[in-house]
Amino acid sequence: MPVPKPMERKQAAYSNLDERYAIQGEKYQGQQYSHIYFTRLRHMRNLLHALVPSLKPLLPVTTVLGLEEGKDCILVGTLYKHMKLKPSILDEYAKERSAIPLVKPHNFMHPDDHLILEDESGRVTLAGAIPTAAFVTGVVVALHGKETSAGNFLVEDVLEAGLPPQTALSSAAEDKYVVFVSGLSVGSDTFNPLQFQLLIDHVTGHLGDENEQSIASNIVRVVVAGNSVHISPRFVNGQTVASKDQSRIAEPIKELDIMLTQLVASLPVDMMPGCHDPANFSLPQQPLHRCLFSGASTYNTFSSCSNPHQFELDSVQFLGTSGQNIDDLYKYSDAKDKLEFMERTLRWRHLAPTAPNSLGCYPYTDKDPFLVESCPHVYFVGNQDKYETRLLEGPEKQKVRLISIPRFSESGAAVMQWSQAQPNLCLIASLQPGPSSTISNCQLEMLFDFGPAGHIPHNRNGKEERTDEIRL
């Protein structure tokens, strides 16, 4: 019998670019959030002032206080969206409570919402050709228009900063994959350990025949994008926990650690915190502590990362979050899908524009770390409802692969991204344990394979057919 030749896992040069999200060096002096808004406005205003002359050459740029009625000009400032349904702490103290619904809606939009532009000198209400549903508080834009006699600013055109510049990708010879998974929710009711074990076995190469193993040997990294544990709410609602229950609080984390140790023994893993993980609440969430992962942190392939997370693999830039920024945009604005929110954050050059307003954020005094200075090649967001992907192209030949990662505990799907010369290629592996129980093959359902020529689904053998399903 021929001896199977051992397959070696590919390696990729990794560098972690998370220093800008570290809060370790910051000292809280009692400051408020005005400083973040100031640095954001200052930074974006420099960018917009550089862009405006090429788009609208002859118009003067003024401040809000320097507006003259009827004169065409350009204003640069931060948007504030006045929302009727936005929950306010003062509603609890309002005398008439009948108008306020007790059940909070998921989306706080209302037809009466209006936008206001604010800079250091003043505010002005906006009217005209600006789509209120598309913008949120905290976005810095340039507006072309004129002041009306009613004191509003009638907008003719909106200028966003657009996609930031991107370093060009060098072409590479070999395929390498990155696996993104999020929403494992170990410890919740929807968690199925068999599914997670199947994923681990597939990624570590313990499943499948040579074909599947060769795919698995091309995986260079696994990124876990948040919500890996789910601690039962009855332990964290402020009531004292009985001593017999105390050991059960940490059970989900221990279980996660055991399973991660298998993964980490085989390939590098980046662990990001999410909104349900034991990390700080406000963005940027700091890396989960090593003591939580007593088994996995002994390996040098385990790296605990911040949320948002930025890294580089073989000169491909990755940037992503665990979903809080996009979920917040979803509550306060409207778009046809989550990818459009992601696209907007790139065009506004800011990962989380709602950050101090409705999303928890650290009150920085001298920087805003969520500003996107260079365009990533892959932009991912975790803990979304479904898998979606698109290739976004910018005016200066930027190409960004946008990926929305579904929650693993609900969908059983992880995303494999081909991270090399053609970042437009994206496979999704859906690992579902089937009804029959022979444990010889895995079910690897390749749903889509976006080749450069378009959406031609073909399987690994190059034939143009949907899939080869081998049931487990």
- Sites of contact with another protein (CB under 8 A): 28-32, 34-35, 38-39, 42-43, 46, 49, 60-63, 65-66, 120-121, 363, 365-366
Identity of the residue, 41 or 269, whose beta carbon is nearer to another protein in the bound complex: 41
Identity of the residue, 208 or 369, whose beta carbon is nearer to another protein in the bound complex: 369
Of 1, 381, 360, 316, the residue nearest 176 (C-alpha)? 316
Tokens of 362: 């650290």
Helix, coil or strand: residue 331: helix
Identity of the residue, 59 or 470, whose beta carbon is nearer to another protein in the bound complex: 59
Cα dihedral across residues 419, 402, 14, 224: positive or negative:
negative
Identity of the residue, 157 or 468, whose beta carbon is nearer to another protein in the bound complex: 157
Identity of the residue, 44 or 199, whose beta carbon is nearer to another protein in the bound complex: 44
DSSP-derived secondary structure for 141-190? EEEEEEE-TTS-EEEEEEE---SPP-PPPPP-SS--EEEEEB---BTSTT
Residue 381 forms beta bridges with which residues?
A: 321, 404
Minimum CB distance to another protein, residue 462 (Å): 55
Per the CB < 8 A criterion, the answer to whether 303 and 16 are in contact is yes
- At residue 412, what is the residue type? G
Minimum CB distance to another protein, residue 42 (Å): 5
Minimum CB distance to another protein, residue 61 (Å): 4
**Residue 112, Cβ neighbours under 10 Å: how many?**
10
Identity of the residue, 60 or 193, whose beta carbon is nearer to another protein in the bound complex: 60
Task: Report the C-alpha gap between 251 and 290 in whole angstroms.
Answer: 16
Helix, coil or strand: residue 230: coil
Per the CB < 8 A criterion, the answer to whether 2 and 334 are in contact is no
Angular region, 281: left φ>0, alpha ψ -120 to 50, beta rest: alpha
Identity of the residue, 23 or 249, whose beta carbon is nearer to another protein in the bound complex: 23
Angular region, 200: left φ>0, alpha ψ -120 to 50, beta rest: alpha
Identity of the residue, 63 or 192, whose beta carbon is nearer to another protein in the bound complex: 63
Q: Are strands 177-181 and 413-418 parallel, antiparallel or unpaired?
A: antiparallel
Minimum CB distance to another protein, residue 13 (Å): 31
Minimum CB distance to another protein, residue 374 (Å): 19
Minimum CB distance to another protein, residue 328 (Å): 24
Tokens of 197: 């074990």
Tokens of 181: 């998974």
Identity of the residue, 92 or 366, whose beta carbon is nearer to another protein in the bound complex: 366
Identity of the residue, 120 or 393, whose beta carbon is nearer to another protein in the bound complex: 120
Minimum CB distance to another protein, residue 380 (Å): 31
Minimum CB distance to another protein, residue 28 (Å): 8
Helix axes 193-204, 210-217, angle to 10 degrees: 80
Helix, coil or strand: residue 31: coil
Return the ∠ at Cα 149 (arms to 147 and 152), rounded to 5°: 50
- Answer whether the bond into residue 284 is a cis peptide, omega within 30°: yes
CA distances from 59 to 63, 67, 93, 152 (A): 13, 13, 47, 19
Task: Report the C-alpha gap between 12 and 223 in whole angstroms.
Answer: 14
Minimum CB distance to another protein, residue 52 (Å): 9
Minimum CB distance to another protein, residue 397 (Å): 29
Radius of gyration (C-alpha) of the chain in whole angstroms: 24
Identity of the residue, 62 or 315, whose beta carbon is nearer to another protein in the bound complex: 62
Minimum CB distance to another protein, residue 70 (Å): 16
